[in-house]
Amino acid sequence: MLKLEGKTALVTGAGRGIGQAIALKLASEGANLVINDLDDAPAADTVSKIGDHGRRAVAVTGDVTAEDFGTRFVATAMDEFGGIDIVVNNAGYPWDAVIQKMTDEQFRAMFDVHAMAPFRVLRAAAEPIRDLVKAEQASGRTVTRKVVNISSIAGLYGNPGQAGYAAGKAAIVGLTRTLAKEWGRYSVTVNCVAFGLIETRMTAEKGGGDEVARIGEREIAMGIPAEFRIALARMIPLGRGGTPEEAAGAVYLFCAPESDYISGQVVLASGGLIM
């Protein structure tokens, strides 16, 4: 028996990288998915790959920072699958600068995507979850649901040039621990995974062909300098960055039934690196 058979999981930022790996891991264990990406093509790719696992998936494309996104995302899960079992708030990106060069727009953008967007998704999910729990209690059943929020080693320890990113990733830790206390009565566990160096386009080596992420009208350069990557890799006890699949495995730990009595926790998935 697959451990997530019949579950419905919602994953933001699932068109590529860590988010796609999370969605595919959950599908491989039996979950159906509502996924999101900013763009149609990556979202469609993930939906197709989930279908290869024999699971259903629907995509809600668009910017997670839009005021109505959380409502649309949750409503799609209820309309398509009739329930919510797992929520993974993964969408995000870095927009870096040292503080004297960081604009208000940059700082707000980091807070909006890493804290406000997950807040809106979870706020939208609150009433449907309460209604589902009431119906389950009336029939004598208890269902444990899961929320996994994504933070970063920068959110726990800070990182030069990332005041906005670190602040947003720190805020999601506070939201995680608060909701663990608010939603425990509904048998919802709320945990957080903070990533170290994971090999994605965001952490690729900067070079002549730097990739640019288009976030609305903004163009955000991806990648980090080669010398910093080398220095960081030397600090990691396991000696390398993690793969998206390994990152997804850390998230899955909090989605599996074995973690039903773990809530309000932050796990650092960093290969042993503690900054």
**Structural domain spans, the chain:** 8-198+242-269
Overall pTM > 0.85? yes
- Does the active-site annotation cover 165? yes
Which residue pairs, CB below 8 angstroms and at least 24 apart, start in 264-268? 264/176, 264/177, 264/180, 264/181, 264/190, 264/191, 265/191, 265/192, 266/151, 266/156, 266/173, 266/176, 266/191, 266/192, 266/193, 266/194, 267/191, 267/192, 267/193, 267/194, 268/153, 268/156, 268/194, 268/196
CATH H superfamily, domain 8-198+242-269: NAD(P)-binding Rossmann-like Domain (3.40.50.720)
Catalytic residue among 93, 157, 165, 186: 165
Instruction: Give the model confidence (pLDDT) of 131-156 as tens digits.
Output: 999 999 999 999 999 999 999 999 99
Q: What is the pLDDT of residue 203?
A: 75
Q: Mind listing the pLDDT tens digit for each residue in 159-187? A: 999 999 999 999 999 999 999 999 999 99
pLDDT at 192: 98
Residue 204's pLDDT is 75
Side-chain-facing half-sphere of 195: CA atoms under 13 Å: 27
**Pair 269, 245: CB distance under 8 Å:** no
Average pLDDT value for the chain: 94
| Position 62 confidence tier, pLDDT thresholds 50, 70, 90 | very high
Task: Name the DSSP letter for residue 121.
Answer: H
- Strand 32-35 with 57-59, pairing: parallel
